[in-house]
Amino acid sequence: MSFRKNVSLRDAMRGIVEEPLLPMVPKRFDYIGNVAVISIPPELGAYKEAIASKLFSMRGNTRAVLNKVSKLEGEHRVADFELLLGDTTETIHRENGYAYKLDVKKVFFNPRLYSERRRVASKIKSGENIIIPFAGVGPFVLPAAGKGARVYAIEINPDACTCLRENIRINRLEGQVTVIQDDFENLFRTGEIFQILDSKTHKESQNDGRGGNCEKVRDSEKIENGDKVGNKAFSGLSACPVPGKGKNKELQVPGSGFDRAIVPTPYGMDHFLVEITKLVRKEGHIHFYTFKAESQIPGLIDEYKKMGLEVVLYRRAGNVAPGISRWVFDLKKIGVKKESVET
């Protein structure tokens, strides 16, 4: 979680950093497991080692300090980091009763959403069928599965997919989660998601016993022994590419649709809401995350209503840039009302 103590990092650096530069010392930083992550402005380049040493001393079990030097980039949503202290970026992060094994440099993980993830999990009932695109290493997946839901997790990053399967195993949630490695948008563009969902009941018997009911890997796309991750801590794992195209393109989701979708949408990808709504049953629930200015929210609410979605709740879930916040919308699919036609 974010570091919150009576003495801030900025106060701790007083007398070390020159007074004119002191306001540039970041107010916030994060701990992911025992790895401290901070974004140090270029103007403080001469003080990077001193800042890292101070972070190291502020929490006893810290093993590494990373400086985030870029925003999330690429389809895998991974930033660039500079290792300032320590010799590993692998860690185990514990949150809301679950353990997440990950490599901070290779996957995306936001520890600041821990209370939001707990809130969503509190709404889940045992027996629900849930789809989660952009699943990452599983911060929304594991709590849902832990409540007794059947979860379909979609993730494009092979390193995150590998970690997710391992996290399913170490949290003893095998059999509750199907992991699909692919681009969520690509699944719709090619019709692949329809084939996956149509054949899922036949694939579930192929559970390999190491972390969820993963679809069978094509020979040309096998990832042997976790080589994509590239370190011993994650050896013996394999990611899960999507199977080849089948003949049946009919969309068959559980019952009349998924009971719930949890969509931690990447920045600028709101169009996925249209696609995910197609997979959710009437009266089903969608937890949708978007990045917007507060002035845009009334327009979004009207837009969602026109899509046949009832806005049950919306709230700010963290600021990400000046004037821009992450917002979560709890939506209920009620369908688009047809206007009566006079005869």
Three-state DSSP string of 199-261:
HHHHHHHHCCCCCCCCCCCCHHHCCHHHCCCCCHHHCCCCCCECCCCCCCCCCCCCCCCEEEE
Q: Which amino acid does the sequence have at 208?
A: D
214 pLDDT band, cuts 50/70/90, is: very low
Where along the chain do the CATH 3.30.300.110 domains lie? 9-88
Q: What pLDDT shows up at residue 267?
A: 85
The 10s digit of each residue's pLDDT in 45-58 is: 999 999 999 998 88
Task: Give the mean pLDDT of 224-241.
Answer: 31
Q: 106-333 has which CATH code?
A: 3.40.50.150
The enclosing H or E element of 198 equals helix 192-203
Highest mean pLDDT among 2-11, 46-55, 134-143, 266-275 belongs to 134-143
Rounded to the nearest integer, the mean pLDDT of the chain is 79
- Average pLDDT for residues 31-47, to the nearest whole number? 93
Residue type, 146: G
Give the model's confidence band at 17: pLDDT under 50 very low, under 70 low, under 90 confident, else very high. Answer: very high
The residue with greater pLDDT, 322 or 33, is: 33
pLDDT at 30: 92
- The helix/strand/coil state of 173 is coil
Long-range contacts of 228-234 (CB under 8 A, 24+ apart): 228/158, 228/159, 228/162, 229/103, 229/106, 229/159, 229/162, 229/163, 231/90, 231/103, 233/90, 233/101, 233/103, 234/90, 234/101, 234/103, 234/162, 234/163, 234/166
Q: What span, in angstroms and rounded, lies between the C-alpha atoms of 283 and 203?
A: 28
**3-state secondary structure (DSSP) of residue 154:** strand
Residue, of 151 and 190, whose pLDDT is higher: 151
Nearest Cα to 178, choosing from 202, 207, 157? 207
Q: Closest Cα to residue 236, out of 101, 108, 332?
A: 101
pLDDT (mean) for 95-107? 95
Question: Which pLDDT does position 197 carry in this prediction?
Answer: 62
For the stretch 160-180, pLDDT in tens is 999 999 999 999 999 999 998
Specify the CATH class of 9-88 in words.
alpha beta
Given this model, what pLDDT does residue 174 score?
92
Residue 100 has pLDDT above 80, yes or no: yes
Provide mean pLDDT across the span 261-265: 95
pLDDT of residue 193: 66
Which stretch of 210-219, 261-270, 293-302 has the lowest confidence by average pLDDT? Answer: 210-219
Whether residue 20 has pLDDT greater than 50: yes
Question: Tokens standing for 301?
Answer: 């609410």
Q: Where in the chain is the domain with CATH 3.40.50.150?
A: 106-333
Its sign, for the CA torsion 41, 46, 50, 53, is positive
